[in-house]
Amino acid sequence: MSEPAKAETFRHEALFYRGEDEFLAGTVPFIRDGVAAGEPVLVAIHPAKAERIKAELNGEAEVVQFIDMPVLGRNPACIIPAWRDFVAQHLSVDSPVRGIGEPIWPGRGGEELTECQRHEWLLNLAFAGSPAWRLLCPYDTEALAPEVIQTACATHPHLVHNGNSQTSGLFSDPLTDPDPFNQPLPPAAGDPEQLTFERDDLASIRRLISRQADHAGLDETRTGDLLVAVNEIATNSVRYADGHGTLSIWRDGDRVLCEVQDGGVLDDPLVGRERPSPEWARGRGLWLANQFCDLVQIRSTSEGNVVRLHMSLS
């Protein structure tokens, strides 16, 4: 793959490939060039693909860091913090780094896919002010739906295909454009149980969650995680959104979903995706919810906030 001129800003590229040969042709030279230049390299992909890359790299793989993306990216909101940690540890003005991340693969669907796409878009905001580094995001054009590929053109300012890199004419810049993924969430399945709460009702919330989780078959550990997450979000509503909110809980297939609505406004698109410092009070609840839950969906409009938490029964 031909190398572009030295980037002066964060360079976020979508790599379009068909089949294993094109995947390796797009990723292995990218890694080798980084290793040859002495750049730290982090590769976050499916373990099976990591093994194929390692086989091509031979001894060079020893200096490359690999992460299991299906584990890291089960909740897509956890991916940006991992890149932040890598960048904070290795990147400086005089010491560039590079990475490969494939958060979208066949089988990602529905809400999970949308949150992955939102993650890809927010990467451009998260690293807008960082020293220059490169992140290559592979997309399987043979296995993914055409609309997924089109959205990748909107979330990546640069596109790579057959070794050629070009600027995306469809790119939506989060520094200037509205969030294209801040759309209303689909309605709850079935007939959810609801509770309107104020400060003194947090104990009632915990009892409701415990009862519904037990009825759905959620195990004790994951019920405890869900309790912590919902308590944090409801506490945010009490503190920052006129002192009240509404909780809904329901089962959808093999998941338990909890949703908290309030009249507040979240003005930071990266909230919950940045590790809060000890002295930083706001944002801690959403950060914790992302650590405990399989998926967290946040929508904020002039009418208020909606936070939906997903917890799998398995």
**DSSP 3-state of 257:** strand
- Residue 5 carries which DSSP code? S
The CATH 3.40.50.300 portion of the chain extends over: 11-167
Residue 210, number of CB atoms within 10 A of its CB: 16
Q: Which CATH architecture has domain 11-167?
A: 3-Layer(aba) Sandwich (3.40)
Answer whether 152's CB lies under 8 Å from 105's CB. no
SS3 45: strand
pLDDT of residue 3: 45
What is the C-alpha to C-alpha distance for residues 53 and 309, in angstroms, rounded to an integer?
Answer: 35
**CA distances to 102, 130, 238, 304 from 50, in Å:** 11, 27, 45, 42
Structure token pair of residue 296: 């967290």
| Predicted local confidence at residue 5, as pLDDT | 46
Distance CA 115, CA 149 (A): 15
Assign domain 193-312 one CATH number from 3.40.640.10, 3.30.465.10, 3.40.50.300, 3.30.565.10.
3.30.565.10
pLDDT of residue 35: 95
CA atoms of 108 and 69, how far apart (whole Å)? 13
- Range 61-96 burial, b when 16+ CB lie within 10 A, else e: beebebbebeebbebbbbbbbbbbebbeebbeeeeb
Residue 2: the pLDDT is 44
Q: For residue 8, what pLDDT is reported?
A: 67
Sheet (strand 98-101) strand order: 64-68, 41-45, 98-101, 134-140, 11-17, 158-161, 164-167
**What is the identity of the amino acid at 79?**
I
Instruction: Give the HSE-up count for residue 175: Cα atoms under 13 Å, Cβ half-sphere.
Output: 9
Task: Write out the residue limits of the CATH 3.30.565.10 domain(s) in the chain.
Answer: 193-312
Within 13 Å and on the Cβ side, how many CA atoms surround 38?
Answer: 2
Per-residue pLDDT of the chain (314 residues; tens, 9 = 90+): 444 445 568 999 999 999 999 999 999 999 999 999 999 999 999 999 999 999 999 888 889 999 999 999 999 999 999 999 999 999 887 889 999 999 999 988 889 999 999 999 999 999 998 888 999 999 999 999 999 999 999 999 999 999 999 999 999 999 999 999 999 999 998 889 999 999 889 899 999 999 999 999 999 999 999 999 999 999 999 988 888 999 999 999 999 999 999 999 888 999 999 888 776 656 689 999 999 999 999 999 888 999 999 999 98
